[in-house]
Amino acid sequence: KKRGVSVNDDLITHAQLALFRGNTIDKLETNNRSMSNNQPDITVGVLALQGAFEEHQRSIESISPRIATVQVRTADQLSQIDGIVLPGGESTAMGLIGDATPGLWDALRDFVRSESRPVWGTCAGMILLAERCVGTSAVIAAGQSLIGGMDILVCRNYFGSQISSFEMATPAPPVPPCSKLEGMENTSEDVDAPFPGVFIRAPAILTASPDVEVLGKVVAAPCRAAAVVLRELERKIEAGENVIQMGVVDALERRAGGGIAYADVRLRKAEGDDDGSYEEEKKEAVIQERINIDLPGASDETNAREVICAVRKGKVLCTAFHPEIADDLRWHKYFVGMVLAAKQKP
């Protein structure tokens, strides 16, 4: 028993534990430590349902004492902030908690679509902001609960599981659109230097609409499970389906004579590749809306693709990696610059 709450492994879920953690940790609820009684220039909210919200707070606050952060868990808190970060973590858990919190998901959708205050989604937060998502959790009957607002197609867990986490060089972020705040300046050496992208069970952006500005790309092979999802997605696109969400696909093939084998996920055209059942699927597909989606090509040998890792559209920013874990504040400065620029506009 802890603080009057009985914790029973058979009854409590990971989502409930995340909510319990959020409701009992209030040490960073509103951080004005460095500003005494002075009002901050801007207040940035961080969605604090689950994930790396405290790490984002520390990164943002370390830029300047003129910035305050607040943990956001309810809809009414959105009126108190100048911009919001949706952190990395577990998008399924965030969706479950968000749906269970009265009014929060609808309020966040309104916040994003109002285009008046900036929003930044990192990793899981990027998934939540996507309009289309494949590789969603198989345990959620209704699919991944998305907020939307960014017209991108995201592949969840593209880079693999937690043990497949890694760091790789990614393109440098743009210069902040507004830097009229102490601590916002980047050194000349920083401006063009690659950014250390930390990818933890990370998603990848497969496609973006023409009005979305691509800020960074990387070349990487999908994990086996993601590659099978992509193969199935390509089949659906060829059949003319409008894919909004698609769950995980079994990466194992059952042999007729018994036994199993991993699916061959290299994208190559072989004679007789299509079987009759696929042709039937194509004929019976219900086409609600015909759209053009061109997936990035894959090498026959390595299956590596060029995928997008950072995008911006208006006041919405998305990154597939975790800038809050890297020892580099440039992406946080860029987002703070977006918030400053938005606040200065009449």
CA 306 – CA 257 distance, rounded (Å): 38
Annotated catalytic residue within 232, 318, 322, 332: 322
How is residue 176 written in tokens? 């902040």
Find the angle CA(91)-CA(95)-CA(98) to the nearest 5 degrees. Answer: 135
SS3 of the chain: helix, strand, coil, percent, to 5: 30, 25, 45
Q: What are phi and psi of 222, to 5 degrees?
A: -70, 155
Q: Which of 63, 328, 32 is nearest to 182 (CA)?
A: 63
Length of the chain (residues): 346
Q: Which two tokens stand for residue 218?
A: 């990387």
Choose the catalytic residue: 123, 133, 309, 318: 123
* 322 in catalytic set: yes
Query: Which of 54, 155, 324, 332 is flagged as catalytic?
Result: 324
Q: Is 133 a catalytic residue?
A: no
DSSP assigned state of 289 = -
Radius of gyration of the chain (CA): 21
Determine which helix (DSSP H) or strand (DSSP E) holds 230, and give its type and residue range.
helix 224-238
Q: How far apart are CA 55 and CA 47, in angstroms?
A: 12
Closest by CA to 71, choosing from 52, 94, 46, is 46
Residues annotated as catalytic are 123, 322, 324
